[in-house]
Amino acid sequence: MTAPQPHCPSYYAATRNDDSVYAPLAGEERVDVCVIGGGFTGVATALTLAERGYRVSLLEQNRIGWGASGRNGGQLIGGMSGERGLLGHWGPAIADTLFELGYRGHDIIAGRVAKYAIECDLKYGYMDVALRPRQLRDQQAWYDDLCSRGMEQQVRLVQPGELAGLIGTDRYLGGLINNRNGHLHPLNLCLGEARAAAALGVSIHEGTAVTEIVHGSRPVVVSPGGRVTADFVVLAGNAYHRLEPKSLSGLIFPAGSFIIGTEPLSEDEAAAINPLDLAVCDQNEVLDYFRLSADRRMLFGGRCNYSGREPRSIEASMLPRLRRIFPQLADKRIEYAWGGKIGIVPNRVPLLGRVDHNIFYSMGYSGHGVNMTHVCGEIMADAIAGTFERMDVFAAVPHRRIPMGQWFGNQLVAMGMLYYRLKDML
Name the residue among 72, 74, 92 with its Cα closest to residue 84. 92
From 61, 203, 274, 305, residue interacting with ligand FAD (rule: CB under 6 A):
61
Going by their DSSP bridges, the two strands 123-124 and 298-305 should be labelled as unpaired
Backbone angles phi, psi at 41, to 5 degrees: -60, -50
First to last CA, the chain: 47
Q: Which stretch binds ligand FAD (CB under 6 A): 9-17, 67-75, 351-359, 414-422?
A: 67-75
> Binding to ligand FAD by residue 370, rule CB under 6 A?
yes
Out of 57, 62, 181, 262, point to the residue binding ligand FAD (CB under 6 A). Answer: 62
Is residue 120 classed exposed, middle or buried when 0-12, 13-18 and 19+ CB atoms within 10 A define those classes? buried
Of 146 and 280, nearer to ligand FAD (C-beta) is 280
Measured distance CA(273)–CA(52) in Å, rounded = 44
10, 25, 31, 38: which one contacts ligand FAD (CB under 6 A)? 38
Task: Report if residue 347 touches ligand FAD, rule: CB under 6 A.
Answer: no
Site mask, ligand FAD, residues 208-247, x = CB under 6 A?
-xx-------------------------xxxxxx-x----
Q: Which of 11, 66, 143, 360 binds ligand FAD (CB under 6 A)?
A: 66
**Cβ neighbours of residue 96 closer than 8 Å, sequence gap 6 or more:** none
C-alpha distances in Å from residue 249, one per residue of 37, 176, 318: 17, 38, 31
Q: Which is nearer to ligand FAD, 71 or 104 (CB)?
A: 71
Measured from the CB atom, is 74 or 175 closer to ligand FAD? 74
Q: Quick one: which of 64, 72, 73 has its CA closest to 7?
A: 64
341 makes contact with ligand FAD (CB under 6 A): yes
Binding segment for ligand FAD (CB under 6 A), chosen from 111-119, 328-336, 361-369, 391-399, is: 361-369
- Of 262, 271, 257, 255, the residue nearest 319 (C-alpha): 262
Q: Is 249 in the site for ligand FAD (CB under 6 A)?
A: no
Amino acid at 18: D
DSSP 8-state assignment for residue 49: H
Under the rule (CB under 6 A), what is the footprint of ligand FAD?
Answer: 36-42, 59-62, 66-69, 71-75, 77, 209-210, 236-241, 243, 257, 259, 289, 301, 339-342, 363, 365, 367-370, 373
